[in-house]
Amino acid sequence: MAAVAKSEKRISAVENRMRRKASSIARLRALPASATGNQRPRKWGGGIYNPDNADLDLVLDNLPGPLSRYTEHARVFLHFISTKRWTGDVDADGFARLHSSILAKYVPNRVFPALKNYLCEIGVLQTAPYCPKVRSTGYRILPAFDGPPRRLNLAHPSLRKKMQAWRESLVSAAADGPMRELIERRKPVLEHMHADLGQLALAKPASEIVAALTAYTDVDPSHARYLCQTIEHGDHDGLKVDPFGFRVHSIVTRASKRIRPYLRLRGNEFVELDVVNTQPLVLAILFLQPQLVAECTTYKGAQHSGRGAPPGDEVAAVLRPLLAGCSADVLSFAGFCQSGQLYEVLQARANLPCRENAKRELYRDVLFGKPHIRGPVTEAFETYWPCLLNAILQLKRQFGYKIIPLILQRLESRIMIDGACARLVREMPELPFLTIHDSILVPPRFAESVRRLIEQEFRAYGVGVSLRVKDPYASRIGQIFPETA
């Protein structure tokens, strides 16, 4: 009987997978040609990327003794280290942090210690100690064996299959407990974005784009080469939901703004609808509705300051008395955020040369920095809104300095992903879109409809919003849509 039940369970799982696949294909076939660009869903690639370095190839092709059987496993290991560096996902010392649970999928546990030690002994790798806060070990490839990205085809069938499965998976990250519940709740949005991500393409060959980008000094050639090649071959990872701020990450969120003009969503050009002053505006929402803090910090899994997120009710109980008598400050601050003029006001008061300097110092010193850090923008903020600065500092001192970014990112994600994007999937299923945290990428013909929808989501939280259209193709750059009545 147990065997029969087990067999029935497997058959049911296969049938469910087939139904989901048929539903996805039907949705794509139902789209108009202009939305899909006459493209079929392509198969995700199985290539990997290693530094283009002859000495590194010599080392990997001549691994000693039993390690010689694991050349491709070593290349996959180096692929994860290199891709983090090329996309800027490294710590202050240049170490890429990798979880052992991820590496164990590609390099057998019985082999990994010997392989890692050998690569360190001959000077290919350098390691950083295990960090309990992020539960990972740091790795970096030393300069003598480093180089620009080079694509390699995996010949090992098992490794290739695992790499393709990783990229085809809806969310390419392990999820436990409440994170599973969050991903399940967002499943319609994630499935829609995953389908669009699978059809992300370049307008020109990667080699031409990389050559064109060499004219810009603010573009790392390795970053451009890696991202363009991964998109061209379909080698990029799927979506990832960040357990800290619940944000959705993809290859697009990591791409330089110089690369975005060459991207196509189902064959379409796109515009980026960006919420102006997003994080400060979300902070204004929290000051207006302190009870939202409790809803944004209930998941205990996220790490901040080396410990789990505090109970939401406890944070809200601390915040409410701090805001007593601060209604004038709150309304003034919310007004500047809604008009999109907050950074300009702080820039003028702090006597800074440009808006970007004010924005950077506001995040670094006031919102995301440690409580003792002060700068010109901190002084300007205190001049205008002393009660609000005191509330921010008290929360940091009691719950750790990362409590502010944790709350802001989670509420921003709730508004943009659980709110705006979920409505797009329900109300405009034909719309191709991807997100960059507080921005939504859509074809220009959908921009007005999406703008109104985003405004409605923010009005549901009691605030207005200003939206900027960022057009990589230059015809609509800088256009501002203030909130309509």
Residue 303 has pLDDT above 50, yes or no: no
- 256: tokens are 């330089």
**Amino acid 429: pLDDT:** 92
Confidence of residue 181 (pLDDT cuts 50, 70, 90): confident
Domain limits for position 75: 47-159
Average pLDDT over residues 238-257: 88
Average pLDDT over residues 8-18: 55
Q: Is residue 458 part of a domain?
A: no
| 238 against 439, higher pLDDT | 439
Q: Is residue 125 part of a domain?
A: yes
**Amino acid 39: pLDDT:** 42
Q: Is residue 172 part of a domain?
A: no
Q: What is the pTM of this model?
A: 0.80
Q: For residue range 29-63, what is the model confidence (pLDDT) as tens digits? A: 344 433 433 344 455 677 899 999 999 999 999 99
Average pLDDT over residues 327-334: 93
What is the rounded end-to-end Cα distance, in angstroms, of the chain? 65
Query: Which residues sit opposite 141 in a β-bridge?
Result: 125
Nearest-CA neighbor of 213 among 262, 164, 140?
262
Pick the most confident of 60-69, 252-261, 309-318. Answer: 60-69
Domain boundary residue among 410, 434, 466?
A: 410
**Amino acid 168: pLDDT:** 75
Confidence of residue 364 (pLDDT cuts 50, 70, 90): very high
Domain boundary residue among 98, 125, 159?
A: 159
Nearest-CA neighbor of 290 among 315, 327, 308, 326?
315
Strands (E), 178-241: 201-202, 240-241
How high is the mean pLDDT of the chain? Answer: 84
**Amino acid 297: pLDDT:** 64
Confidence of residue 417 (pLDDT cuts 50, 70, 90): very high
Q: Is residue 308 part of a domain?
A: yes
Q: Is residue 240 part of a domain?
A: no
- CB neighbour list of residue 17: distance below 8 Å, 6 or more residues apart: none
Q: Is residue 471 part of a domain?
A: no
Residue 312 has pLDDT above 80, yes or no: no
Domain boundary residue among 125, 142, 159?
A: 159
| 344 against 296, higher pLDDT | 344
Q: Could you give the percent of the chain with pLDDT greater than 90?
A: 55
Residue 180 has pLDDT above 90, yes or no: no
**Amino acid 68: pLDDT:** 93
Q: Is residue 194 part of a domain?
A: no
- CB neighbour list of residue 51: distance below 8 Å, 6 or more residues apart: 78, 82, 141, 145, 146, 147, 148, 149, 150
Q: Is residue 363 part of a domain?
A: yes
Q: How many separate domains does the chain show?
A: 2
3-state secondary structure of 321: helix
Average pLDDT over residues 173-200: 81
Residue 299 has pLDDT above 80, yes or no: no
| 287 against 476, higher pLDDT | 287
Q: Domain of 143: which CATH number? A: 1.10.10
Amino acid code (one letter) for 5: A
Residue 306 has pLDDT above 80, yes or no: no
Whole-number CA gyration radius for the chain: 24
Least confident of 238-247, 407-416, 442-451, 458-467: 238-247
- CB neighbour list of residue 373: distance below 8 Å, 6 or more residues apart: 364, 365
Average pLDDT over residues 253-269: 88
- 313: tokens are 């009710």
